Chains A and B, each alone.
Chain A
Amino acid sequence: MATLELNRIGKVFGTTRVLSEIDLAVAHGEFVILVGPSGCGKSTLLRIIAGLETRHDGEVVIGKKNVTGLRAKERDIAMVFQSYALYPHMTVARNLGFSLRIKRLPKPAIAERVGRAAEILNLTPLLNRYPKELSGGQRQRVAMGRALVRDPAIFLFDEPLSNLDANLRVAMRQEISDLHARLGSTIVYVTHDQIEAMTMADKIVVMNAGRIEQVGRPLDLYDNPQSRFVARFIGAPAMNFLAGSMEGGAARIRLADGAGELSLAGRPARSGAVEIGVRPEHIRVGRDLPEAALQGIVRHVVTTGADSYLDLDLGSQRLTALTQERPDVGPGDRVAIAIPPSAPKLFDTETGARIEF
């Protein structure tokens, strides 16, 4: 187990800058997830940590050792690949034991460690199968097992669940979380799926266009996004964004095209156009709400059982609300909309930066 430190990592492919000035510290035993849309540079960053991309700016420190420029095999890391990258010509047992055979461990030691990893991952009955004889989930576990037997300083996961179907993905998320809890290993995990990030990570690193947007614990990111990008990326259904404008020092904000006004819990110093972010679950909708300051029209209602989503027209703007109550309204109904003063987050219309107040 070890810590990981990235200092001012940069990477250019041809004329395209894919990573700029990435600084990141991962504590011992921490489960860090790099998340972002495709093309944001998260996989490249992971490959730089792994030593699979060796030409880059900045330095990578694992434990207390600067491993910049070292080959992957010299870094004491293990990696689980998106395609699992199982050796198709080897049985599960030989896949698991490959790194140990390379290290020339004695055969009994290899068998012992392979057996233990297989047991942890429920692979024992499959040890003599070939990869093509396994299901997707089984292959996924073999890929993890191959990392596990290494007992590395850091585990790296590159979108490991993206090839699995939805149910299996939920199950595997749990397995990986359990594994982390049990082994206490340091993990850097890449995904484009914010739910994976939210459910598994100790710390999430949101990346966008080669930069880190925000680093934080899952709920910190949810509750306190530092940018419109993070606010939009984290959480499903996504945060609502409304256009509005304000006058400095006032505790209220005017929605665009006169759809109404929202109360704020504070008095921002800014004036002019802003973007207002409101999480769907903070919006209350009803036929008659005493505290409601806004009026809207229901477009559709979607109910999944526990949750209901209401799509609303608020003037010319759109809004989604989430509620656990069964709504008694239907499409076309005029409704009252209440947004508590603590709910709105303000963002700079131009830069997307959070406006604190």
Chain B
Amino acid sequence: MQAFQPTRRSLWALLAPSVLVYGFIVVVPVVVGIWFSFHEMRNFQMEWAGVANYARMAGDGDLWFVLGNNVTITGLAIFFQVMPAFFIAVLMNRKDIWAEKFVRTAVFLPVVISPVVTSFVWILVFNLDSGLLNSTLAVLGLEAWQQRWLDDPEIVIYSLTAVLVWQYIGLFVVIFLAGLSAINPETLEAADVDGASFFQTAVLVVLPQMSRTVAVAMVLALSGGLKIFEHPLVMTGGGPGLASTVVAQFAYDVSFRRAQFGYGATIAITITVLSLVTVLACLWIINRLTVRSSGETDA
């Protein structure tokens, strides 16, 4: 059999399909989006608007408020999802095979369920009168802790975050488990022998060796936090008011409910750029912190 020798031409021929697909699903929408952002729709026609949409965005208190919701959710998710997932993964890494399999399945299962389905399930949990949460609190005699989980504008964002954490923590556990499998297990035992506690081992020995995994997890958490859409839409419709509206739904509403496609595109493009910058900054910082020892060695 003759080994395949790609020529310049055959290489392009082979790459063409993926380049085309990428172009159509990524490049074209972005270019169209940028074009839209300098226009606004009037009577279903796009009219040149200059930088008016960008100027409007700067002064749009509602937009910054809903962006704040994303920041809150993302921050809480990193704290209550990425961090616990790391420790769960380290813990599971030490356990027996059957327990690991069981926990892996139990923790990962929600990840593969549709967000719409989980949202409906959690609506039942959060229901004011008959929901699992308030009922359980009543049974425990903790009526004072009962809340209007989805109706109180001060609380709803945390209720939503809890659902997101519940649903996606398994994803991060699996990511960290994969990262853990790449580090020398004897370093964990060495730390054990050296007298380190579970948390000391996790933080001082495992974490620094998984800087790339942590970077991946952070990027996923950040981008996930910025693209949340289904959960608030199904559970609260973004309400009450804008209390649980996230930037994706806001852009959607502006485009499709208000028919302001130009402004909607402006928001979408800006958020995309903002996400990119945040993610790159995050990667840069992590890279800087680990430049010399750079985690995964060839030991």
Contact = CB atoms under 8 A, between A and B. Distances in A.
Contacts of B197: 73
B136 interface: no
Interface string A66-83: 000001110001110111
B151 to A, nearest CB: 48
A132 B194 contact: no
A87 B193 contact: no
Interface size class of B (residues with CB under 8 A): 20 to 34
Contacts, number: 84
A82 B189 CA distance: 12
Contact of A78 (B187, B191, B193, B204): B193
Contacts of B299: 83-84, 86, 88, 131-132, 139
Given A85-B186, A87-B187, A87-B205, A132 B297 contact: yes
A131 B194 contact: no
B193 A50 contact: yes
Contacts of A71: 192
A99 B297 contact: no
B193 A79 contact: yes
Contacts of A87: 187, 190-191, 205, 208-209
A89 B189 contact: no
A99 B205 CA distance: 12
Contacts of B193: 50-52, 72-73, 77-79, 99
Contact of A102 (B184, B200, B298): B200
Interface string B194-211: 111100100011001100
Interface size class of A (residues with CB under 8 A): 20 to 34
B292 interface: yes
A192 interface: no
Interface in B101-143: none
B195 A102 contact: yes
Interface in B43-74: none
Interface string A84-122: 111111100000001100110000000000000000000
Contacts of B191: 87, 98
Contacts of A50: 189, 193
Nearest to B290: A89
A89 B191 CA distance: 13
Interface of A: 50-52, 71-73, 77-79, 81-90, 98-99, 102-103, 130-132, 139, 146, 150
10 contacts: A52-B193, A73-B192, A78-B193, A87-B191, A88-B209, A88-B293, A88-B296, A89-B290, A99-B195, A132-B293
Sorted nearest first, the 10 A-B pairs with minimum C-beta distance are A85-B186, A99-B194, A89-B208, A89-B293, A85-B190, A88-B297, A73-B195, A81-B186, A72-B192, A102-B195
